[in-house]
Amino acid sequence: MSSAPTSRGFPRQRGCGGKPTRSLLELTADTQVFERLHRAFTWMLKAGGDRLTEKLLEGPVTEGCVVDINRLEGYKVIPV
């Protein structure tokens, strides 16, 4: 495999004999490859979103409120 620099200086891979690049559909011979990838990526985004939540606090934050939130999240509270 040879590489020739592109106009931006990055190497571009070429196949043997200057063959054109093939699409993912051609490489995998799977007609549903894009649907499968989309389903997998959206599942990962949803799974990450389900695990990461944001706590919304309204009004002035008191020290007791912060201590309670830290306990709920599993942080160890160190008295000052």
Overall domain count for the chain:
1
Domain that holds residue 49: 23-73
State the alpha helices, DSSP H only, in the chain: 24-28, 33-51, 63-72
Write down the pLDDT at residue 57.
67
Report if residue 47 sits inside a domain.
yes
Report pLDDT for 21.
84
- Condensed to tens digits (0 to 9), the pLDDT of residues 22-35 reads 899 899 999 999 99
Tens of pLDDT along 42-80? 999 999 888 887 777 677 767 677 777 777 776 665 665
Is 80 inside a domain boundary?
no
| Rounded alpha-carbon distances, angstroms, from residue 3 to 17, 27, 39 | 12, 20, 34
Indicate whether this model's pTM tops 0.75.
Answer: no
